[in-house]
Amino acid sequence: MESKKVFITGGNRGIGKGIVEGFLSNGNEVLASCRDASKFPLENDRLTVAELDIADAKSIDNFKNIVESFGPEILVNNAGITKDNIFLRMSDDEWLDVIDTNLTGTFRVTKLVAKGMLKQKWGRIINISSISGMMGNPGQANYSASKSGIDGFTRSLAKELGSRNITVNSVAPGFIATDMTDNLANEELTKKIPLGRIGNVEDVVSLVLFLSSEDANYITGQTLVVDGGLFMK
Ligand code: NDP
């Protein structure tokens, strides 16, 4: 793969950190955002780390110059949160925080990057959604809504940007072992997964790298599931 400029949100841990490592090990130049740059766990000559809170419009504004001078060819909208609660107990704040971060954050960050990609007449946008947005999950009305929103956003954007050779896809992981799922993984759940195991970060990273590559030139507007078979239509 020819070296590209890649911007990844939430690159400091979990799936995002794996994606940063994957692109670096393929020789790419990476801009990774996080909320506290002083604690970023990786160092590399081809890595730039900058602070961004994707739920904060002001922080997005401050980030504009950094993105524009970096000029990303590939964007991975990875940062996301859960605030689970059963629907009747779900507060406005739990709803709004998750929608603001996962969905509005993805919208705002993509806006920062899309103009440059349109000028370059080449781009790859990969949004991390979730099978929760496709199958629904009790206790995750906010999260499921945000993630299926991302899939719809992906399809509309794919139609708007396709003529400029920009592909837009989402990757929908199942259960992947990270901080986010730390207290959810159990034997009962594993039994429901046809491949018989919880996913690891690398399972997601390889799909993101594929979608960013020339091998995926003719794939756009899709939601690709990486879940060991847990959700089948
Ligand atoms: P983690 O909780 O391990 O990491 C989440 C990342 O998002 C962290 O880097 C975190 O930064 C960042 N983040 C959260 N809120 C903000 C914000 N407002 N601004 C900037 N960064 C923020 O989660 P995962 O690695 O598991 O999840 C990564 C993505 O994959 C998410 O979008 C998640 O919804 C999705 N996903 C994960 C699945 C799983 O099973 N793990 C399944 C399906 C989808 P900080 O360290 O500062 O909190």
The DSSP result for 73-127, as a single string, is SEEEE---------GGG--HHHHHHHIIIIIIHHHHHHHHHHHHHHHHT-EEEEE
Kindly report the protein residue whose alpha carbon is nearest to atom 13 of ligand 1: 79
For residue 35, the ligand 1 atom closest to its alpha carbon is 47
Query: Residue 169 in contact with residue 222, Cβ under 8 Å?
Result: yes
Q: How far is the CA of 83 from the centre of ligand 1 (A)?
A: 12
Question: pLDDT tens, 102-134?
Answer: 999 999 999 999 999 999 999 999 999 999 999
Give the residue numbers marked as catalytic.
Answer: 143
What is the amino acid identity at position 173?
P
Q: How far is the CA of 212 from the centre of ligand 1 (A)?
A: 20
Beta strand spans in the chain (E): 5-8, 29-34, 47-51, 74-77, 123-128, 166-173, 223-226
Of 137, 178, 181, 226, best ligand 1 pocket probe by most atoms within 8 Å of the beta carbon? 178
Lining ligand 1 with CB less than 6 A are 9-10, 12-16, 34-35, 52-55, 78-81, 101, 128, 130, 173, 175-176, 178-181
The per-residue b/e assignment along 85-96, b for 16 or more CB within 10 angstroms, e otherwise, is: eeeeebeeebbe
Q: How far is the CA of 101 from the centre of ligand 1 (A)?
A: 10
pLDDT score of 2: 84
User: What is the number of other CB atoms lying within 10 angstroms of the CB of residue 221?
Assistant: 17
For residue 18, the ligand 1 atom closest to its alpha carbon is 25
Question: pLDDT tens, 159-198?
Answer: 999 999 999 999 999 999 999 998 887 888 999 999 999 9
Picking from 226, 225, 228, 224, the residue whose alpha carbon sits closest to that of residue 189 is 228
pLDDT score of 69: 96
Torsion of CA 140, 96, 80, 152, to 10 degrees: 80
Kindly report the protein residue whose alpha carbon is nearest to atom 34 of ligand 1: 80
Taking the C-alpha atoms of residue 187 and residue 206, their distance in angstroms, rounded to an integer, is 26
Kindly report the protein residue whose alpha carbon is nearest to atom 11 of ligand 1: 10
For the chain, what is the mean pLDDT?
97
- Three-state secondary structure call for residue 175: coil
Residue 1 has pLDDT above 70, yes or no: no
Q: How far is the CA of 163 from the centre of ligand 1 (A)?
A: 31
Residue 77 has pLDDT above 70, yes or no: yes
Question: pLDDT tens, 7-56?
Answer: 999 999 999 999 999 999 999 999 999 999 999 999 999 999 999 999 99
